Structures are given as structure tokens and as C-alpha cells.
Structure 1
């Protein structure tokens, strides 16, 4: 099971449109012909989970076509994150993101669902969603319409956590190749003032603090287990 495989299946469906389609047909084959023409956003998540080997973790209570029930499944197993701006900054690729167009953040008011493909600046995410304009498309959404997200317990595919466990804590005065890595990541995050000189200098520290503030962690200028994931987050 992995987020990468889940996203790979979702990307294969981008551009699909109209109903019935292969997603609704497959769901209807198990649950009845009434689903052939039904809203298919969560049927798509079910399809991606089944075809990527992630059904057990993405669908903790089995197939879902009704989004509030799916979100409630995540809440019951302690893997639900309400849609505040701070929580959204902690989202990860592969999270199942639920939308409430009335911005109440209530699970029973959820209207729509997709999968997080990338976490963007400004408390936004890039998603892949089905049944958006009756098609499967990429979208960019912000916290105002996100009720929350469920975090599947993907196994073996959370590369960020695996990497972070092996990385050192770094701060002002340190030097070496890991400092160069930090500087390269900072430069990629629109901090051109940083130079890849391998020395954790005052400029590097200031840029780290800026990234920490954006990421919602303590802005102490030290790169540790809470800051490495922010630097490594895919944009």
C-alpha cells in the first residue's frame, strides 16, 4: 500500500468524463444499477483504492459512494483532520480531502471528495477530483471549502517520514552536505538569497524561520523532525 500508487491510479483517470463510465460501472456491478448515473466523486476514490491495492486503508469501512459516511469512517478510526488552515498545512499527498461548499466543516454537510496531489503555499492543495463538472480533473482548493481530510495508513510509501528519521538536526554554525541540502531546498522554495555554501549562516537561519512560520511550526531556525517535512514537501 502506498500514496504513490493511489495517486498513480487517480492520474490515469484525468480527462474521463460523462456517465456511465468505467468507475460507475464497476461500482454498480457490486452495489446496483442505481449507481451507474449517480455522483461519482467517491466512487472514484473507491476505484483508485481498489486498483492500487489501498482498499484496506483508504476504505476502512468498505466501498463508499456517499462522502459524509466516508469521512465519518476516518473519524471513527482517529484518522480525521478538520479543515482548519493549520491542519491543511500539514496535509500530505495521498490524503483523502473532503469539501463543504457552505464552509461549515461539518462532516454531515460534506458535498464532495478528492485526493491531495500536492500541498501548495497559502493553505491550498492541488487535488485530483472526479465528478467535478462531470469529469475527472486537477483542481486547486483552499481551506475555505475544505471540511477536512482523512489520512490513510499507507504502509511503506511514506517516503517523507522514512527520510526524516535518518536526517540530523541542524542549526546555525553547523556545516556539511546536509546543510547544503537544506540550502538547496530553501532556494527551491523561493529563497534566492540563500547560497549553497554548506555553512548554516545567518541568511540560512532567517530563511528557515520564514519557512517554519509558513509551515505552522515553531520558528526557531533549527531544522529538525518538524521542519524537514516542510522543506521536503512537494510543490
Structure 2
């Protein structure tokens, strides 16, 4: 069956009315073709909030500043005027609700220790060109100006905003020229990066855990969403009535068989990903 990938906004050949139904359910897609539902799913992972928080700090400069003052309030006044690139990462992680994911060893102002934290939890990736091209927005990237790729020699840190290819990353960094700025960095100075376990490491599970279990007889907006998704999966016999009726149940069972899950007619944590095509 041809498909639209709702999560990534990648459009393959669609069934005649699939995109129209997705628009009705989730609103107009953005310039990249990503539906609002996909943005919400991505946000569940936490990387979106982390990057948004870093963007809010763009232009912050000098010291002490809001970032160093907050860090010093927890760890002492010596940090008010200290190098603050990793304090910025700590600040963004805390303010975006991602402290556990981004700071596996707790608050950090010393970059080698922060990189070690990621290595200790098995979430460290080397700074080779091939590896850097596999980075993702929200990853925490560490730099070694001496190009040794040695954790103990790390000098600086930032957050990945965009992967540019060819071993290059667009980043947001604190304490670069004593300010928060965007930079473009190449693999030659990238010692490696840590991959935070945003959303506990499995955004699909986190997302579907928040969705209700639905079955025959249920009513409401979530049932309408199920029916709209079924219509987008070529079940034109279904109507968006908001009532989980016999026709809806039969269509759910058909989609479950197609998706390789138990065809019990219940829309739960195993069936939502099939309907959303995020499995």
C-alpha cells in the first residue's frame, strides 16, 4: 500500500483523498510538508523544545548573564564569570524539561565531564565525518580545537540545530565570542556528540501512551480521529461520526491485520502506531 509518512512529512504516492483527510484532521502542513500532528509527535521527543530554548538565548552576551547567574545560584559565585558554554547547555536542558536526557550526570560546566557522562551511558558518537553526518537536531556536540578527537581535550560544546552534510553541523553555542550565536562547524574540530534520550528514548511509546484505548461503543473526538485515519487508509466505508460502530470496528480489524498486530478491533498502544504509520 502506498503511504504518507505522517511523522516525517515525506509524501509518497497517495490514495485519492488521503492528503485531504490528513489536512482535515491535523490542519495545513508547514513549508516542509509536515503536518501539525507530526510536529506534536516530534515535540514529544524533547529535541524540539531543547532547540527552541537555545534559540531564545540567541544574542545573550557578556558575563555575568542569566545563564551564569542561574548556574551560580546552585553551584557558587565562582561560576558567575567562568566559561559558560556548558552552563548554557545545562540552562537550555533545564528550561526545556530535558535535564534527565541532556544531563545524564547532572549539571555540567566542564565539557570533558559532560562528554564522559554520555559515554558512560552508551550514548557517545565519535566525531568522524561519517558519524557527524548521522547526527540529529538536539544532539549535544563537543569540540576539540586541537582536532585530537579525545574527550579529555574537549574545549567547547553546543547543541545541533541542523545537519548540513559533508561532516558539517549548524549549531547554537553559548560563550562563543562571549555570546550565544549560531555557528557552522566541520568534523575536523568535532570531537564527538552525545545523543540525549529525549522522551525516555522511545518517542513512539511516549506518544501512544497518552492516547486512549478505544473500542466498539466509544464516542468522542478521539473516535473521529480513528475514523479519519481509517478513511485515509482506503476505508471509504467509514464515516467520521464520532461513534465507534460496527463499520469502524471491521475497518480497525482490517488495518490491524495489514499492520501485523492482533485483529481484536481495539485501538490501543499497538494499533495507534499502525494508524499513524509511525511504527
- Do both share a fold (TM > 0.5)? yes
Partner residue of 2:65 out of 21, 25, 32 = 21
- Is the Cα–Cα contact under 8 Å of residues 62 and 178 in structure 2 kept in the other structure? yes
Q: TM-score of the superposition, structure 2-length normalised?
A: 0.56
2:84 pairs with 1:40: yes
The answer to whether the Cα contact below 8 Å between 1:2 and 1:156 also exists between their aligned partners in 2 is no
The higher radius of gyration belongs to 2
Partner residue in 2 for 1:122: 166
Distance 1:146 1:157, change over 3 A: same
Please list the CA deviations of residues 93-134 of structure 1 after superposition, one character each: whole Å capped at 9, or x if unmatched: 000000000000000000000000000022100000000000
Task: Give 5+ residue unaligned stretches, structure 1.
Answer: 163-235
Q: Is the 8 A contact 1:100 1:147 kept in 2?
A: yes
Task: Please tell me whether residue 73 in structure 1 is matched to residue 73 in structure 2.
Answer: no
In the alignment, what sits opposite 1:4?
Answer: 48
Whether the 8 Å contact between 2:101 and 2:200 is mirrored in structure 1 is no
| Partners of 2:201 and 2:46 in 1: CA distance | 4
DSSP-derived class of the 1:155 partner: helix
Which residue does 2:274 correspond to in 1?
Answer: none
- The aligned counterpart of 1:94 is 138
Q: How big is the shift at 1:156?
A: 7.7
RMSD: 1.9
8 A Cα contact 2:133 2:167, kept in partner: yes
Rounded Cα–Cα distance in structure 1 between residues aligned with 2:200 and 2:80:
34
**Where do 4+ consecutive residues of structure 1 move more than 6 Å?**
156-160
2:118 aligns to what SS in structure 1? helix
- TM-score, normalisation: structure 1: 0.66
In structure 2, do the counterparts of structure 1 residues 158 and 3 end up closer, same or farther at CA, with 3 Å as the change threshold? farther
Deviations for 1:49-105, whole angstroms, at most 9, x for unmatched residues?
000000001000100000000000000000000100110010000000000000000
- Please tell me whether the aligned partners of residues 2 and 157 of structure 1 are also in contact (alpha carbons under 8 angstroms): no
In 1, Cα distance between the equivalents of 2:188 and 2:61?
Answer: 27
2:188 aligned residue (128, 144, 151): 144
Count the aligned residue pairs.
Answer: 162
For the structure 1 residues 101 and 82, does the alpha-carbon distance in structure 2 shift closer, same or farther, using more than 3 Å as the test?
Answer: same
